[in-house]
Structure 1
């Protein structure tokens, strides 16, 4: 399983990191054979977000908390402090941890952008 981590370095500049998580065989529920499991990651809630068609451009910002973002529909780009820009689409998983520093810029690329935000519990 792969996700992209966006975090602030020691000087507060946001950057990307590709993270590979190796799953281990485990049972999720009786009646289902062992699956490869990564986690659990202690999470507090889930919020589904849709980009309105008339939304203004997004400004540079930090993440409001450590949270996973899972792209559901559409495409978006994220640009970090050094100017590196990556595009993401359905099924992509990002972990936003740049809660301080310069932050990042998110840019919706399609009118049908939707994603799920899954905040991690403090201390996890």
Structure 2
């Protein structure tokens, strides 16, 4: 129900293994903040009263997101995935696959339409 919903938007900055986890990644930080601000604005338009956005640094997004859902006792993960076709079949990518196989809660994928990408 909308009046009881809490939204936890999470953006994971994947830090390459050759850099310290605390490395300065200004482009990734700016992208993450912009995306989280967009989600917060949409939630406000929909009258969602509680939004707790978080920007994470991790080596791999999948394990970080699964751990975050467990730490916050989330009921549902909503994950946008790009439209990717290879050899005539859709591919969801390693992060989405990891979440699908390891999350303890429900997972909902939102795929781009063919030829159209989610806005950045």
TM-score (norm 1): 0.24
TM-score (norm 2): 0.24
Question: Which structure ranks higher in relative contact order (CA pairs < 8 Å, sequence separation ≥ 6)?
Answer: 1
